[in-house]
Amino acid sequence: MGKAWGRNLRDNQEAVLAGWIDMRPGAAEEAAKELDVTPEYLGTDLEAAIRALSPDFVVDVTSPSGHKEVTTTALGLGVPVIGEKPMAVDLDEAKEMVRASEAAGKLYMVSQSRRYDGRIQAYRKLIEENLGALGILNSDFYVGAHFGGFRDEMASVLLVDMAIHTFDAARYISQADPVSVYADEFNPGWSWYKGAASATCLFEMTGGLRYTYRGSWCAEGLHTSWESDWRAAGANGTALWDGHGDPKAQIVKESGGFHSTCTDLSEASPTVKSGIEGSLEEFLHALKTGATPNGECHDNIKSFAMVCAAVESSRRAERVLLSEFL
């Protein structure tokens, strides 16, 4: 991801890659050479780089265990940060990072890159403009992912390493926030993961919405999209999105009889800068205008809290209130 962000910054017309820091000696120099970029500062010391360069912002692409140190160091020196998900390894660290943003008066944004997808934006629009009050939102995620490496050894691998994307997408699609969760993690006998690679979660959201998540990282064959397979049911009808093409809906045209008469609708996906390219574009816009971007830390911590609460609910085998975490 460091190299992906390096290319992202290199190719952006408004950004200049001034420095590249990596905890491993020589890694920054190697990556810069591979990408054919020539930052002024290459090395292992973030604070020294910030003091030498006075950058406009820092991009944190470390592993989750490094997020707090990098983000609080940069914010403490008065530099805004855009960082990779998830915010931190736990909510205590995440809250410390939010406090650092407040104390510095500087933006800290988490790159929830899947929000920058024309198809999910079209799905949200289709729901908002046609379904009326939303009561049910379901997502299915089934991908047999043979990563190898550290993920094979992780506890709660699906919820901790992947579900943040889907949980954040649920908040984006529904424009609702979590109230409580009942979750059950498990690991089928055939799983190649050491930790729980499957989970079912039921969230109560604001406004009475129920959001259900069903997922597995060890389900072979007939994979869903990495964006999940979605169904939303509201007062006026139902909207579907399979994570691949444009979303579609059926809206009530005439009530009466055993089934209401419905009409078909669809929403064409707009062309947008996607993924981390879209994240960077919105971050730069926020820095220039003061607008609050998607992924601003006070908002994104709610998505991270969904992950932490789901893991805790599964551990306790009981319903957990999000107020315990936020």
**Do 163 and 309 share a domain, yes or no?**
yes
**Do 188 and 76 share a domain, yes or no?**
no
Give me the domain span that covers residue 54.
2-114+276-295
Q: What is the pLDDT of residues 13-32, one digit of tens each?
A: 999 999 999 989 999 999 99
**Do 140 and 151 share a domain, yes or no?**
yes
Q: What per-residue confidence (pLDDT) applies to 166?
A: 97
**Do 131 and 110 share a domain, yes or no?**
no
Supply the pTM of this predicted model.
0.93
Q: What is the pLDDT of residues 253-276, one digit of tens each?
A: 999 889 999 999 999 999 999 999
Token output for 169 = 């997408």
Q: In the Cβ-directed half-sphere of 210, how many Cα atoms lie within 13 Å?
A: 6
Token output for 287 = 């820095």
**Do 46 and 125 share a domain, yes or no?**
no
Q: What per-residue confidence (pLDDT) applies to 283?
A: 98
**Do 266 and 290 share a domain, yes or no?**
no
CATH code where residue 179 lies: 3.30.360.10
CATH code where residue 74 lies: 3.40.50.720
3-state secondary structure of 226: coil
**Do 182 and 64 share a domain, yes or no?**
no
User: Would residue 100 be called left, alpha or beta, if left means φ above 0 and alpha means ψ between -120 and 50 degrees?
Assistant: alpha
Query: Which of 236, 253, 240, 243 shows the shortest CA–CA distance to 129?
Result: 236
Residue 323 buriedness (CB in 10 A; 0-12 / 13-18 / 19+): exposed
Angstrom distances, CA of residue 42 to CA of 25, 53, 321: 10, 11, 45
> Does position 169 have pLDDT exceeding 90, yes or no?
yes
Token output for 210 = 């129920």
**Do 93 and 137 share a domain, yes or no?**
no
Q: What per-residue confidence (pLDDT) applies to 63?
A: 86
**Do 312 and 175 share a domain, yes or no?**
yes
- The answer to whether 173 touches 227, Cβ cutoff 8 Å, is no
Query: Number of folded domains in the chain?
Result: 2
**Do 170 and 158 share a domain, yes or no?**
yes
| Spatial distance between the Cα atoms of 235 and 231, rounded to a whole number of angstroms | 14
> Does position 150 have pLDDT exceeding 90, yes or no?
no
Token output for 277 = 């390219």
Query: Which of 118, 114, 121, 116 shows the shortest CA–CA distance to 141?
Result: 114
Give the phi and the psi of residue 83 in degrees, each rounded to 5: -130, 160
Q: What is the pLDDT of residues 72-127, one digit of tens each?
A: 999 999 999 999 999 999 999 999 999 999 999 999 999 999 999 999 999 999 99
Mean pLDDT of the chain: 96
Task: Tell me 290's DSSP state.
Answer: -
> Average pLDDT for residues 36-60, to the nearest whole number?
96
Query: Which of 86, 73, 83 shows the shortest CA–CA distance to 47?
Result: 73
**Do 248 and 235 share a domain, yes or no?**
yes
* Cα 195 to chain centroid, rounded: 21
- The answer to whether 73 touches 101, Cβ cutoff 8 Å, is no
| Spatial distance between the Cα atoms of 181 and 187, rounded to a whole number of angstroms | 20
Q: What per-residue confidence (pLDDT) applies to 257?
A: 87
The residues, ordered by sequence, that sit 6+ positions from 214 with a Cβ below 8 Å of its Cβ are 138, 139, 140, 141, 142, 199, 200
> Does position 324 have pLDDT exceeding 90, yes or no?
yes
Q: What per-residue confidence (pLDDT) applies to 64?
A: 87
Percent of the chain whose predicted confidence (pLDDT) is above 70: 100
Confidence label for 47 from pLDDT (cuts 50, 70 and 90): very high
| Spatial distance between the Cα atoms of 308 and 92, rounded to a whole number of angstroms | 11
Element (DSSP H or E) covering residue 126: helix 118-130
- The answer to whether 116 touches 282, Cβ cutoff 8 Å, is yes
Residue labelled with tokens 């407040």: 102
> Average pLDDT for residues 227-234, to the nearest whole number?
98
**Do 186 and 56 share a domain, yes or no?**
no
